[in-house]
Amino acid sequence: MGEIMTLEPILRVHPFLKDMPQPFMDLLTGCAMNERFEPGHVIAKAGDSADKFYIIREGRVAIEVIPPGSGGIIVETLADGDVLGWSWMFEPHQWILDAIPLEPVRAISLDGACLRKKMESDHDFGYEMLNRFTKLMLGRIKALRKQLIENVR
């Protein structure tokens, strides 16, 4: 009988998950699956249900906001090693921006409902995930602030 393949070795080396304790890595891996996206396919659309987050393994993803009456504005481009999405954690679990692949993208998706259930039943795991996502969100806000200041000049 063949050995069962798991995404744990790939997740383990991702910068976002660096030094995650093994019991938490096991919980996370149980909610993970591989996905591919081609250019033109929408990964996330503002207002749609946010039921996943993505660990980008390869490719680039444009994060866009579409103001009324105009085209999309790219606010950030994510690439290999980045994490896409935190809306799955917070009510009402809806995307607030669009995410569109600029080239073929390979990612690991993590099921939000699965993770929320595990975070609720294991508060230490929940704290670990909230701590990691808070740092991610703060980094993104700082980058957006810098971009806004540069655009005003």
Report the CATH number that the domain containing residue 39 is assigned in CATH.
2.60.120.10
pTM of the model: 0.89
- 59 pLDDT above the threshold of 70: yes
105-111: strand order across its sheet: 32-37, 105-111, 52-58, 83-84
Which of 12, 16, 11, 14 is CA-nearest to residue 140?
16
Domain that holds residue 97: 8-152
pLDDT tens-digit readout, 81-115: 999 999 999 999 999 999 999 999 999 999 999 99
Kindly state whether residue 1 falls inside one of the protein's structural domains.
Answer: no
Kindly state whether residue 2 falls inside one of the protein's structural domains.
Answer: no
Kindly state whether residue 3 falls inside one of the protein's structural domains.
Answer: no
Q: Is there a contact between 47 and 94 (Cβ–Cβ < 8 Å)?
A: yes
Which range (38-42, 65-69, 118-122) has the least confidence? 65-69
The total domain count for the chain is: 1
Kindly state whether residue 17 falls inside one of the protein's structural domains.
Answer: yes
